[in-house]
A and B are shown apart, each in its own frame.
Chain A
């Protein structure tokens, strides 16, 4: 019925499609259904990458976690035996605990230092040169940060232990003692990421309009009150982002541990990712390694979900 009228009146047929679409986007007139074909052409390479190296491996990884697989033979389906083994594996629980300790030290230290630095930059010096200097460690490879500190923190002739000795304190076996190994790894990571995190927060600070501060100062708000009541709440989306990035990154610590302590002394730095690496690649136990990787994946997903949910990370109070 409608087609008939359209055909009958050429004036109406020209108007009809324009009316059905939203006005104000003149480009719509030149676009049609044909875009899908072209779009497929444009996303084809990315799609190949997505399927081959993200989607299929994800499914295959989950499948392997239910198998016994040592590369040599074929994967053998053993149901949930790997997961039962994980539950009873003291090394796994140790790895989880050690990783947790590392994550907590990182969050606290990194966020506090970065927040302080960002505020300092925002208040007294915003030069690109200063920001660049703070960013330098972040641009170095983890391996380089690890080696650099491995040398500076050396028990015998490292400069840090020299300084500690001058102050009259006893030398610290940073990498060699079970007590210090994880905090040391966390300190290296904090050194590398402190400036980067500070710049993220700094960008957030710059987005807060000064009118908010002016209103607060007219109302007679003190500096500390302004910080707790205005700055911090308005920074929430950035702080959540920083927390998510820090926690997710920290759970996957590997490079520094692999280059410096390799899990030792005893099991003090055998973090989750290093443990997975050892099981899968050193012991060729791919099924068990995959199951461990699934657990790590789940932990990260849960952490990200909780953080976004409870801290309402994607909503800004500025709107």
Chain B
């Protein structure tokens, strides 16, 4: 009862209930402007990708694609020969797209699956189990969030190099495999709020922690686990610095790094703009698809950050 009343009073306030007000109109215009600034660049990328380089310069402000064609996408997917590319105003530079895509998928997929699972295990120990030194160890994990990635990246690079794992998928994924401090923090927050009753009933039936974790805790936390997996995957997909250091060969290069290389391959003065934009768009596609499917879940996860 109390929760109900407090929710309604804290919930929807509508200061602008009148049918029309100038303040509301201005507010909506500003909001619309912000949305336009956020999403219109994506249209411009698409428009450029569908143009040919030769026509871009002459029609630089035309809202529609200049000389509509799919050549840039063909170039990205490796379906166009170098001579064709140059004829369309491309630089002749190529991008080993399928290889990079596969590497990005492996890198993001493996690290997400392992880190989410191991972090959930640790979060279980930090929330559902009672043991001496628990809070101290947890603070140690939290403290690592303060260490800037570049600081650990230097020694980690040396470690991976000494292990002979440079330019290998194992070298790429290893530092992310076991946990991320954020994932542990995130899962712990949910485990803390789960009811103990089912767990206790299982205990009485003689279930061990391992079974409780797998059959009760994990299934009940499916939603937060999915959210965490989604956020981790997107973060890993967009990762640049570590893959730049460790994955420099064609066999181990991920898309973000590949894009950078593709851009710098263009000789000065005549970048392959439409090819570059096509590659950019295709690289962003997995994230865009995930966002289209799980948008609401992603948006609602933003409020979560330790601030109630």
Binding site for B on A (CB under 8 A): 26-28, 30-31, 35-36, 38-40, 42-43, 45-50, 52-58, 60-61, 64, 71, 113, 116-117, 120-121, 123-125, 128, 130-137, 139-144, 147-152, 154, 156-159, 162-163, 191, 194-196, 199-200, 202-204, 206-207, 209-211, 213, 237-238, 241, 248, 251-252, 254-255, 258-259, 273, 276-277, 280-281, 286, 289-290, 293-294, 296-297, 300-301, 304
Contact = CB atoms under 8 A, between A and B. Distances in A.
A301 B299 CA distance: 30
A159 B62 CA distance: 9
A135 B155 contact: no
B124 interface: yes
B129 interface: yes
A142 B240 CA distance: 8
B280 interface: yes
A130 B118 CA distance: 35
B74 interface: no
Contacts of B39: 133, 136
Given A43-B125, A135-B299, A143 B41 contact: no
B18 to A, nearest CB: 12
A1 B194 CA distance: 42
Interface string B20-49: 000010011011001101110110110010
Interface in B199-222: 199-200, 203-204, 209, 213
B303 interface: yes
Q: A-side binding surface: helix, strand, loop or mixed?
A: helix
B276 interface: yes
A100 B262 CA distance: 30
A124 B16 contact: yes
12 contacts: A26-B200, A27-B203, A38-B129, A46-B118, A49-B175, A58-B147, A125-B28, A135-B299, A147-B263, A159-B44, A206-B10, A255-B241
B238 interface: yes
Contacts of A206: 10, 303
Given A142-B238, A203-B302, A42 B307 contact: no
Interface in B224-269: 234, 237-241, 244-245, 256, 259-260, 263
Interface stretch (B78-86, B91-99, B137-145): B137-145
B164 interface: no
A53 B175 contact: yes
Contacts of A213: 13
A35 B241 CA distance: 39
Nearest to B199: A27
A43 B291 contact: no
A159 B61 CA distance: 6
Nearest to B119: A46
Contact of A56 (B38, B155, B213, B295): B155
B34 A194 contact: yes
A216 B275 CA distance: 57
Given A58-B152, A196-B302, A289-B154, 7 more contacts: A31-B129, A35-B129, A141-B238, A142-B238, A148-B277, A211-B10, A259-B263
Given A39-B129, A124-B28, A162-B61, A141 B152 contact: no
B72 interface: no
Interface in B129-184: 129-132, 134, 137, 140-141, 144, 146-152, 154-159, 161, 174-175, 177-179, 184
Given A136-B291, A143-B240, A194-B34, A42 B209 contact: yes
A12 B207 CA distance: 28
B80 to A, nearest CB: 20
Contacts of B159: 52, 57
A241 B119 CA distance: 24
B305 interface: yes
Contacts of B129: 31, 35, 38-39, 42
Contact of B150 (A131, A196, A276): A276
A289 to B, nearest CB: 6
Contacts of B131: 35-36, 39
Nearest to A237: B307
A147 B60 contact: no
B216 to A, nearest CB: 13
A296 B134 CA distance: 30
Given A39-B129, A43-B137, A210 B10 contact: yes
The CB with the most chain B CB atoms within 10 A, among A53, A121, A252, is that of: A53
Nearest to B177: A49
A190 B34 CA distance: 12
Nearest to A192: B38
Contact of A116 (B13, B30, B146): B30
B280 A45 contact: no
Contact of A200 (B161, B244, B305): B305
Contacts of A125: 28, 31
B287 A140 contact: yes
Contacts of B196: 26-27
